Chains A and B, each alone.
Chain A
Amino acid sequence: MPEYSAAIQDLIRVNGLWLIPFFPAMGALINCVFGAMIQKKWGKRPIHVVAVGSMVLSSLTALYLFFFKLLPADPSQRFLLDEVFPMIDMGAVRVMFAFAMDPLSGVMACMVTVVATAIHIYSMGYMHDEPSYWRYFGYLNLFCFSMLMLVLGDNFILMFFGWEGVGLCSYLLIGFWYKDREKAKAGMKAFVVNRIGDFGFIVGMFTLFWGLLGMWDAVPGTMTKVDDGRCIPVMTKPMPVAEHHAAPAEHGDAHGSLAAPQAALMASLANGIMGTAHAAEHPVAHGAAAGATHRRGGRQEGRCGLKVEGQRFLQQLPVAVGRTQQVYVGPTVSFRELRDQLAIEDHGGKRVVAEHLMQGTLWFGIPLLIFVTFGFFLGATGKSAQIPLYTWLPDAMAGPTPVSALIHAATMVTAGVYMVARLNFIFILSPEGMTVVALVGGATALFAATIGLFQYDIKKVLAYSTVSQLGYMFVGVGVGAYWVGIYHLLAHAFFKACLFLGSGSVIHGMHWVEHQHGHGDEHGPLLDLRLSPNPADPQDMRNMGGLAKLMPHTAKTYLIACFAISGIPLFSGFYSKDEILWKAFSMGNLAWPWAGKLIWALCAVGALCTAFYMFRSYFMTFHGRPATAEHIEHVHESPRSMTWVLWFLAIGAVLMSLVGSTLFIPAAITHQTPWLESFLAPATAALSDAFQKPALHNVWLEWGLMALSVVLAVTGILGARFWYRDLSKTRARLDWAKRNWRLIHVTVFNKYFVDEIYNATVVRGLLLLTRALAWFDLRIVDGLVNASSWGLRMAASFFGAVDAKIVDGTVNGVADTVIGAGRRVRRIQTGRINAYVMGVAFGVVVLLFVVWFVGPVGR
């Protein structure tokens, strides 16, 4: 029975973490800005040297930090932090541009960089004839940068940056051949559907932030307000010294292992007393900064009975045991700070912040956490292609195949799973949220798998398979078995990338049919009832067959990956998928007890379908007789840069078994904790009492279910072999089956008409709404505007007339009068001196008369 070791209690400061996303960012910058010029001047070699080189540097940095900094550290300190610069400083909120590598983001970063490097190398061969080679590699590097920001970001802001960045790059790369209208449309569809999910992410993020900040007054008496934050009283407790590498087995019961981190937390909280919170300019940020210097000392003290936990509450004060003290809580965007806050206990042992968050309600009394978890999960369904937002992923196959492998199988689509695992401390507070995650995951796993059964496009099969496998991952993280979800994510990254690249290799080899037949109608009618393939489609499996002899490496690696995804022992998919099924069956974290069994049933049937459709695609592509004899002349194995990558990924798909089992023996038999589980435990350790240990523990049941899943996988494989090994023999049987179950076949073949339903409801509804709004705009708004403008025009012409006639008339009249008078008066000025003198004399005489008769003036 697995045990959880201590939560992360300390962190290690490193400097190089920012380099991991920095290298691809530089590569993207060089190739996007100067790529066209470089390619014109020096050809394609410098383009891929820059792109692949940056990814190699990035993965070397990631692997170095992972293996030489993170792994040697004590499990309770496995948290590398690299604070680069303060990004936002606004009131009590301080957001650092910081990268963090804990076990969870560490394995993700290594997987992303390694798989991305492999796919970059593969792309050199696959995209060799592409004219805008530079654009492709620029986008690919930009994607890696965004993905690494998403994975390594220390807070919601950076994660959201990466979240949006990968969405953008996905759009750019799906619509890479943008001259094809359908492909450009597929890119837009992916982007728009992702935006719906992003809306959920934003709602969740802001609601959570608001919940942390805005509602303290709802719990009177527990909080003390300080300047720019709040404090709560906690009691300091001594804690037992935790031994290094504390073996989980030493803790006898479930609670014993949880006691240590809790007690550690109690001690740590003592440091953040109210006085210093006042004194510190920014308690949030300074807590972390001060903690770094102090933490080392704290660990020394830990030897004598006190250990310090928490990454921010530490201040430079001696720990006072047994005193009630005040610690700062408040709004934060940092994952680790949030996690610490949720773990705070007051002297009564109550998790004040967590309980407050759980009690918070929004409109109509809906719990706040429902909004938060549903919002985040809506974001995850958009990015990770779950019901109801999965429809973009199959269309995303319009992009180049390496892109499908990297973005739409291995990395970006797993961002949602990663996010749920990252926010485990929030999701476990809401059993309803967890249940919804798991139920949606299980439903998607089966739903997408059934669609995959009848697809003919090899990439569409893989796309639905990806949707289905992502559903399994969500089941894993949804039932609270975070490590299994992440384990399936890692294993899936290898075998699905291998499958996609294998299909890319096949398409590369089949490329000649396009030239042979010219571009046909690649997109069928709305109701695709055709039973015969379009001969010009290099992705249609009905045009293939018998390629195993022509493409031996591709066929072998594809077969290995098929075994892995089907869940055959010795291949990684078996260990991860079986563990997910068992956890779903046995975990007691869900809101309703029957949900786990239902999810198990969905996943088990899904596993059967998975094995069937994967081997269907394998047999249709590589076995049987070639569709045309010309294949033998034209189809050829791909270049070595592609086949080596295929082998690398196939071997990775097998070796990934080792991290989730003991030398290929499942944990159910050895009863040893798999390496990955104990490694990930600090990052995903439970904080909530609602998070229970597996409610069910029955070895025989576990073995029975494991055997059943192997039987299901083998059944699926044999079924596929029976129907599809040689199409020429079974075609009659297939046609008969299609005729007899016509309704089912048509429905499933057309993907349950979900796209059509969305078009008829959502898209149509939105278009109707736009039309109504356009009418409103044209008639009402424009009418109002026009009416007001008409009124104004009338008023203007009236005032214009007034101005022209009266005002100007007055002004002109005055001017005319003056001019006329002047014209008359000027005659007086003759220029003749005599006249003037006469005038003067006359005037004098007049004055004399005046004085004489009237008297002196002014008297």
Chain B
Amino acid sequence: MNALVSIGLAHYLVVASILFVAGLITVATRRNAVAILMGVELILNAASLNFVAFSRFVHGGVTGQVFSLFIILLAAAEACIALAIVLSIFRNFKNVDVLNTTTLRE
């Protein structure tokens, strides 16, 4: 049945693209630092999904999966540090609006 089209590489790539664009838009438009972090997570996940997909359909082996695991790990560490930075921003500026945190500009 056509409705039950077997899911292939393209599907994954489309989903990953949607995720990536959503993340990109989040990062580009949101002012809340935590929200931006979330966007970054989306982008990372999009990349991770691509790794898994290419690993499954193009390359073979487990290399892609291993990379995904690395990315998950990396995302955790990154979130950890980023949240710490956000926390210190909050302490300094009493909010987490990134439009205010432009003092390093000069």
B105 with A830: CB separation less than 8 A: yes
B28 contacts A841, C-beta separation under 8 Å:
yes
Interface of chain B residues 40 through 77 with chain A (CB within 8 A): none
Whether B99 contacts A832 by the Cβ 8 Å rule is yes
A-contacting residues, B79-106, CB 8 Å: 98-99, 101-105
Q: Residue of A at shortest CB range from B21?
A: A841
Query: Complex: how many Å from CA A811 to CA B29?
Result: 44
Say yes or no: A833 contacts B27, CB within 8 Å: yes
Q: Is the CB of A831 within 8 A of B28?
A: no
State in angstroms the CA–CA spacing of A832 and B31 once bound together.
9
CB distance from A826 to the nearest CB of B (A): 8
Residues on B with C-beta less than 8 A from A841 are 24, 28
A829 interface residue per 8 A CB criterion: yes
A803-844 vs B, CB cutoff 8 Å, 1 = contact: the mask equals: 000000000000000000000000001111110011001000
Asked whether B36 lies within 8 Å of A833 as measured between CB atoms, the reply is yes
Contacting residues, chain B, for A837 (C-beta < 8 A): 24, 27-28
Contact A838 B102 (CB under 8 A): no
* Nearest-Cβ distance from residue B92 to partner chain A, whole angstroms: 14
Instruction: Point out the residues of chain A lying under 8 angstroms from B29, CB to CB.
Output: 834
- Alpha-carbon distance between A837 and B27 when the two chains are bound, in angstroms: 7
Closest-by-CB residue of A relative to B31 is: A834
Which B residues touch A833, using CB under 8 A? 27, 36, 98
Complex Cα distance, B103 from A840, in Å, reads 21
Q: Does the CB pair B105–A831 fall under 8 Å?
A: yes
Q: Give the Cβ gap from A831 to chain B, nearest Cβ, in Å.
A: 3
CB distance from A523 to the nearest CB of B (A): 91
Q: Which of A829, A834, A838 lies in contact with B98, CB distance below 8 A?
A: A834
A834 & B27 in contact (Cβ 8 Å cutoff):
yes
Q: Bound complex: CA of A837 vs CA of B99, how far in Å?
A: 13
Q: Which of B28, B30, B98, B102 has the most CB of A within 10 A?
A: B28
In the assembled complex, the CB of A844 is this many whole angstroms from the nearest CB of chain B, namely 9
| Contact size range, B | 10 to 19
Chain B residue nearest to A841 in the complex (CB): B24
Cα distance A834–B26 in the bound complex, in angstroms: 9
Residues on the A chain within 8 Å of B28, using CB:
834, 837-838, 841
Closest beta carbon of chain B to A837's beta carbon, Å? 4
B31 touches A829 (CB 8 A): no
Contact check, A831 vs B27: say whether CB atoms are below 8 A apart: no
Which chain B residue shows the least CB distance to A844? B24
> Chain A: which residue is nearest B39 at the CB level?
A837
Residues of B within 8 A of A831 (CB): 101-105
Instruction: State in angstroms the CA–CA spacing of A792 and B104 once bound together.
Output: 55
Interface of A is mostly: helix
How many Å lie between the Cα of A292 and that of B32 in the bound state?
Answer: 114
Residues of A within 8 A of B36 (CB): 833
State in angstroms the CA–CA spacing of A832 and B101 once bound together: 7
Q: Please report the total number of A residues contacting B with Cβ < 8 Å.
A: 9
Q: Which chain A positions have C-beta within 8 A of B101?
A: 831
**What is the bound-complex CA distance between A121 and B103, given in angstroms?**
100
Closest Cβ of chain A: how far from B45's Cβ, in Å?
17
Give the Cβ gap from B13 to chain A, nearest Cβ, in Å: 15
Contact assessment for A832 and B24 in the assembled complex, using a CB-CB cutoff below 8 Å: no
Chain A residue contacts of B99, Cβ below 8 A: 832, 834
Identity of the chain B residue whose Cβ is nearest the Cβ of A833 in the assembled complex:
B98
* Complex Cα spacing A829 to B102, Å: 9
How many Å lie between the Cα of A276 and that of B47 in the bound state? 105
Question: CB distance B98 to A832 under 8 Å?
Answer: yes
State A837–B28 Cα separation when bound (angstroms). 6
Are A830's CB and B98's CB within 8 A?
no
In whole angstroms, what is the CA distance A833 to B34 when docked? Answer: 13
Q: How far is the CA of A831 from the CA of B89 in the complex (A)?
A: 14
CA A830 – CA B36 in complex, angstroms?
17
With a CB–CB cut-off of 8 A, which chain B residues contact A832? Answer: 98-99, 102
Closest residue of chain B to A839 (Cβ to Cβ) is: B28
Q: Kindly report which residue of chain B lies nearest to residue A829, judged by CB atoms.
A: B105
| Cα of A837 to Cα of B25 in the assembled complex, Å | 9
Mark interface residues in A686-714 (1 if CB within 8 Å of B CB, else 0).
Answer: 00000000000000000000000000000
Q: Which residue from chain A places its CB closest to the CB of B24 in the assembled complex?
A: A841
A829 / chain B contacts, CB cutoff of 8 Å: 105
**Docked complex Cα distance between A841 and B105 (Å):** 21
**How many angstroms between the C-alpha atoms of A831 and B29 in the bound complex?**
14
Among A829, A832, A837, A841, the most chain B Cβ lie within 10 Å of the Cβ of A837
Alpha-carbon distance A832/B27, docked complex (angstroms): 11
Q: Which residues of B contact A838 (CB under 8 A)?
A: 28
| Binary flags per residue of B1-45, CB closer than 8 Å to A gives 1, else 0 | 000000000000000000000001001111100001000000000
Chain A: which residue is nearest B101 at the CB level? A831
Q: Which residues A257-286 have CB closer than 8 A to chain B?
A: none
In the complex, residue of chain A having the shortest beta-carbon distance to the beta carbon of B104: A831
Q: Within 8 Å CB of B98, what residues of A? A: 832-834
Complexed CA–CA distance, A829 and B105 (Å): 6
Q: How far is the CA of A830 from the CA of B31 in the complex (A)?
A: 14
Residue interface mask A524-568, B partner, CB < 8 A = 1: 000000000000000000000000000000000000000000000
Point out the residues of chain A lying under 8 angstroms from B27, CB to CB.
Answer: 833-834, 837
Q: How far is the CA of A184 from the CA of B41 in the complex (A)?
A: 107
Alpha-carbon distance A837/B31, docked complex (angstroms): 12
CB nearest neighbor in A for B40: A837
Min CB gap B65→A, angstroms? 27
Cβ proximity bits A625-665 to B, threshold 8 Å, 1 near / 0 not: 00000000000000000000000000000000000000000
| Most A C-beta atoms less than 10 A away, residue of B29, B36, B99, B103 | B99
**Docked CA distance A834–B31 (Å):** 8
Give the complex CA separation of A837 and B37 in angstroms: 13
- The residues of A that contact B104 with a CB separation of less than 8 Å are 831
Nearest Cβ distance between residue A709 and chain B, in whole angstroms? 118
User: How far is A488 from B27 in the complex, measured between Cα atoms in Å?
Assistant: 126
A828 to chain B, nearest CB (A): 10
Which chain A positions have C-beta within 8 A of B30? 834
CB distance from A846 to the nearest CB of B (A): 15
Q: Choose among B27, B30, B36 the residue with the greatest number of A CB atoms under 10 Å from its CB.
A: B27
Q: Taking the nearest CB of chain A, how far is it from the CB of B80, in angstroms? A: 19
Q: How far is the CB of B64 from chain A (nearest CB, A)?
A: 23
Residue of B nearest to A834 (CB): B28
Docked Cα-Cα span, A807 to B43, in Å, equals 54
Query: In chain A, what residue has the closest Cβ to B105?
Result: A831
* Cβ of A229 to closest chain B Cβ, rounded Å: 88
Taking the nearest CB of chain A, how far is it from the CB of B97, in angstroms? 10
What is the CA–CA distance of A841 and B23 in the complex, to the nearest angstrom? 12
Inter-chain CA distance A473–B60, complex, in Å, is 133
Q: How far is the CA of A456 from the CA of B65 in the complex (A)?
A: 136
Chain A residues near B31 (CB-CB < 8 A):
834
* Closest chain B residue, CB of each to CB of A835: B28
Closest residue of A by beta carbon distance from B28? A837
A91 to B62, CA, bound (A): 96
A805 to B103, CA, bound (A): 40
* In the bound complex, CA of A833 to CA of B99 (Å): 8
Give the residue among A829, A834, A838, A841 with the most B Cβ atoms within 10 A: A834
Q: How far is the CB of A48 from chain B (nearest CB, A)?
A: 90
Bound CA span A518–B29, Å = 117
- For residue A835, give the distance in angstroms from its CB to the closest CB of chain B: 8
Question: What chain B residues lie within 8 Å of A830 (beta carbons)?
Answer: 102, 105
Could you tell me the distance in whole angstroms from the C-beta of B39 to the nearest C-beta in chain A? Answer: 9
Q: Give the Cβ gap from A526 to chain B, nearest Cβ, in Å.
A: 93
In the assembled complex, the CB of B101 is this many whole angstroms from the nearest CB of chain A, namely 7
Complex alpha-carbon distance, A830 and B104, angstroms:
9
CA distance A834 to B24 in the complex (A): 10
B29 — nearest CB in chain A belongs to which residue?
A834
State in angstroms the CA–CA spacing of A201 and B27 once bound together. Answer: 106
Q: Which 3 pairs from chain A and chain B are nearest by CB? A: A831-B102, A831-B105, A837-B28
> Which residues of B are in contact with A by a Cβ distance under 8 Å?
24, 27-31, 36, 98-99, 101-105
Q: A830-B102, A834-B29, A837-B24 are in contact. List 4 more A-B contacts (CB 8 A).
A: A829-B105, A831-B102, A832-B99, A834-B98
Sample of 16 A–B contacts (CB below 8 Å): A830-B102, A831-B102, A831-B104, A831-B105, A833-B98, A834-B27, A834-B28, A834-B29, A834-B30, A834-B31, A834-B99, A837-B24, A837-B27, A838-B28, A841-B24, A841-B28
